[in-house]
C-alpha cells in the first residue's frame, strides 16, 4: 500500500474535527441570545449542530455569571434585591358586611332518580336542579297526550 493510499484510508477512518474560531463562536452566541432568535435555524445556517451552539451558549452564560458574581461586593448577595416592606394591621369586617353576604346554598346529595312514564324510563344521576327536572317531566307528559 502506498503512503498516499494509507493517508486517504486513515482520513476516512478518523473523522476530522472542525475547529471554530472564538470570534465565530462569540458572534453566533450573541446572535442566538437576541429576542426571537432561533438557535436551530442559526446553527443550520452555519452548518453546525444546534446542540453545539447550545453548548457554546451555556459556556458563555456560565462565564458571564461567574464574572458578574465576582464583581459584586458581597458574593453571597449576587442577584439579590431588598424591597421595602410595610406591615399593616388587618381591619375587622364590619357587621353590615357580614350580614349582606349571600348565604351559601345547601349542597344537594348526589343520587339517582328513576321515573317510568308512558313506557319511557328517565334516569337522572347526580345533582339536578328543579327547573330542569320539571322541563323533562313536562316534555314526557306532553308526549304521552
Rg of the chain (C-alpha set): 37
The CA-atom distances, in angstroms, between 23 and each of 32, 95, 100 are 14, 72, 71
Q: 70-125: per-residue pLDDT in tens? A: 655 555 555 677 878 888 877 776 665 555 656 666 655 667 778 777 677 778 77
Instruction: Give the predicted TM-score (pTM) of the model.
Output: 0.39
Structure confidence at residue 14 as a pLDDT band (50, 70, 90): low
- Residue 111 is predicted with a pLDDT of 73
- Residue 69 is predicted with a pLDDT of 64
Question: Would you list the DSSP string of 41-92?
Answer: HHHHHTT--HHHHHHHHHHHHHHHHHHHHHHSSSGGGTT---------PPPP
C-alpha 30: how far from chain center: 25
User: Within a 10 A sphere around the Cβ of 29, how many other Cβ atoms?
Assistant: 19
Q: 31-62: per-residue pLDDT in tens? A: 999 988 899 999 999 999 999 999 999 999 99
- What is the rounded distance in angstroms from the CA atom of residue 19 to the CA atom of residue 143? 85
Amino acid at each position: 500500500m502506498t503512503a498516499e493510499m494509507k493517508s486517504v484510508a486513515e482520513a476516512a477512518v478518523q473523522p476530522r474535527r472542525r475547529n471554530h474560531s472564538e470570534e465565530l463562536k462569540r458572534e453566533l452566541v450573541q446572535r442566538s441570545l437576541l429576542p426571537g432568535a432561533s438557535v436551530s435555524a442559526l446553527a443550520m445556517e452555519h452548518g453546525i449542530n444546534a446542540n453545539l451552539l447550545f453548548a457554546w451558549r451555556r459556556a458563555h452564560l456560565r462565564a458571564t455569571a461567574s464574572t458578574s458574581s465576582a464583581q459584586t461586593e458581597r458574593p453571597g448577595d449576587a442577584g439579590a434585591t431588598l424591597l421595602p416592606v410595610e406591615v399593616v394591621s388587618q381591619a375587622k369586617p364590619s357587621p353590615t358586611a357580614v350580614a349582606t353576604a349571600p348565604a351559601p346554598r345547601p349542597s344537594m346529595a348526589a343520587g339517582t332518580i328513576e321515573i317510568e312514564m308512558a313506557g319511557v324510563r328517565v334516569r337522572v344521576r347526580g345533582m339536578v336542579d328543579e327547573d330542569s327536572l320539571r322541563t323533562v317531566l313536562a316534555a314526557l307528559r306532553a308526549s304521552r297526550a
